[in-house]
Chain A
Amino acid sequence: MRSKIATVAALIGVAFLSGACATSEQWAEWRAHTTHFASGDHASFSMGNNMQGTNPKVTRLDIDKSRQENWWGRTITVEPGQVIQN
């Protein structure tokens, strides 16, 4: 009985993680085609959030995961202390 519970728990965990990865890919796709820009009005914003005619749902958790994967890689920037002091 305990073995079955452990197996079910493992399967749930795997399903959770693989589901998160799939959604993360969708988020990646969404973001890759996102056009935000800081001028003009909203009508000109084009959000390429379409996968095979459907709108994928993106949760805040998906966004966290994508950021953890460090999309932009390394950045050239100043030390935070040059901008603001703690």
Chain B
Amino acid sequence: MSRRPIATALAVAIVTLAVAFAHAGPADYLMPVEKHTTPKGRALATKYRPQLLEFSDYVYHCLPYVEIRNGLGFKRLPKETVDNRYASVWVRAEQAPDPTFAAMPLERQASAMFSRYGVPMLSRMAALPGLDADPDVYGYSVAVEWIKPGSNPNIATMEILAVFADKASTKAFLNKTLPSADYVQGMKLNFFDGDKEVGRLPIEIWDDNFVSTYKVPGYELEKGKVCS
């Protein structure tokens, strides 16, 4: 057998792999339209796909220490029968073990993670064109997950804080016309420790400008991308 076909096949395979790898990106983090379980959900996912792509593109390129999980889309509260759709993002915040964080009580950890990562996500989503005026969008939902301090590094235990809030109170909170404590009180909130549902935690929200100011050392933003 000639070496030429082998070399050609190898080259084609490698280039194909490289191209496929290079094309994985922000669009992959959107939940496919057909996975939305109701017509309203599918309609919203179709209508706002450009906005969701823009959101995903921002997270993907500008917040490399955050990863969108389980699909960006229009989702609803578990077990809720009414089809209230929330613009939803679930993010995993990647952080190394830290004794300061580990020493905080659980509700402070959850408060810190939500203040740091959840609020910027809410703010970004609430600013997406069209959502605020759309009566089919009930509100916004953010789930933040992180590795539980002290968990087995080989089988990490994830902690998840999920919140659901209506549009009006979110807007008021972001505009600082609604105190954060009132906003928290009005939101639906659930905390999960590994595979256990813990329920509501008394979280607080405070100002945290990490996401808007932190730059990963050595990180090269893709040409043509702007983070603002």
Contacts and interface: CB of A to CB of B under 8 A. Distances in A.
Interface of A: 2-3, 6-7, 9-10, 12-14, 16-17, 30-40, 42, 44-45, 47, 49, 55-61, 63-65, 67, 72-78, 80-86
A55 B100 contact: no
B139 interface: no
Interface string B178-208: 0000000000001010111100000000000
Contacts of A30: 218
Contacts of B145: 77
Q: Tell me if B's interface is mostly helix, strand, loop or mixed.
A: mixed
B64 interface: yes
Contacts of B65: 36
A37 B97 CA distance: 8
Query: Size band of the B side of the interface?
Result: 35 or more
Interface string B86-112: 001010011110101100100011001
Given A36-B96, A38-B101, A74-B155, A49 B217 contact: yes
B67 A73 contact: no
Contact of A17 (B14, B80, B101): B14
A35 B70 contact: no
B15 A9 contact: yes
Given A10-B11, A13-B15, A73-B156, 16 more contacts: A7-B11, A13-B11, A17-B17, A30-B218, A34-B96, A37-B95, A37-B98, A55-B218, A72-B156, A73-B155, A74-B156, A75-B155, A83-B162, A85-B79, A85-B80, A86-B73
8 pairs of A and B residues whose beta carbons are closest in the complex:
A13-B14, A36-B95, A38-B112, A37-B98, A9-B11, A77-B158, A49-B217, A10-B11
B63 to A, nearest CB: 11
Contacts, number: 181
A37 B73 contact: no
B113 interface: yes
A80 B41 CA distance: 17
B98 to A, nearest CB: 4
B195 A67 contact: no
A83 B104 CA distance: 24
Given A17-B14, A75-B158, A77-B145, A36 B78 contact: no
Nearest to A74: B155
A72 B69 CA distance: 15
B12 to A, nearest CB: 8
Interface string B3-40: 11001101110110110011010000001000111000
B90 A84 contact: yes
Nearest to B210: A42
A84 B77 contact: yes
A37 B100 contact: yes
Nearest to B116: A38
5 contacts: A6-B7, A37-B101, A38-B112, A57-B220, A60-B60
